[in-house]
């Protein structure tokens, strides 16, 4: 996609495109699409609800505290 100018269409300088491509390919992480990211967030949300319902009892949770801190306390 980079070679065919399908992505980053605004970068027209060939040397800048080469640098950008090299930098992107050097990343050691997976870059999901926004659609994939959004779909993954739905699964995280389900997991958080399960943890809050079955692991952290409502009376034990500190209101306004992030899930990680409530889990660490337990």
The 10s digit of each residue's pLDDT in 4-54 is 888 888 888 999 999 989 988 898 887 778 788 778 888 988 988 888 778
Measured in degrees and rounded to the nearest 5, phi and psi for residue 35 equal -65, -45
pLDDT at 35: 81
Which range, of 47-51, 61-65, 68-72, averages the lowest pLDDT? 61-65
- How many Cα atoms sit within 13 Å of 28 on the Cβ side? 0
**pLDDT band with cut points at 50, 70 and 90 for residue 59:** low
Alpha carbon distance 24, 47 (integer Å): 31
* pLDDT over 70 (residue 71): yes
Alpha carbon distance 62, 35 (integer Å): 33
Considering only CA atoms, give the Rg of the chain. Answer: 21
């Amino acid at each position: 996609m980079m070679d065919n100018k399908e992505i980053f269409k605004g970068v027209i300088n060939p040397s800048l495109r080469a640098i950008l491509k090299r930098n992107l390919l050097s990343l050691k992480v997976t870059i999901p699409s926004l659609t994939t990211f959004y779909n993954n967030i739905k699964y995280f949300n389900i997991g958080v609800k399960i943890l809050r319902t079955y692991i952290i009892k409502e009376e034990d949770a500190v209101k306004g505290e992030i899930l990680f801190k409530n889990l660490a306390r337990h």
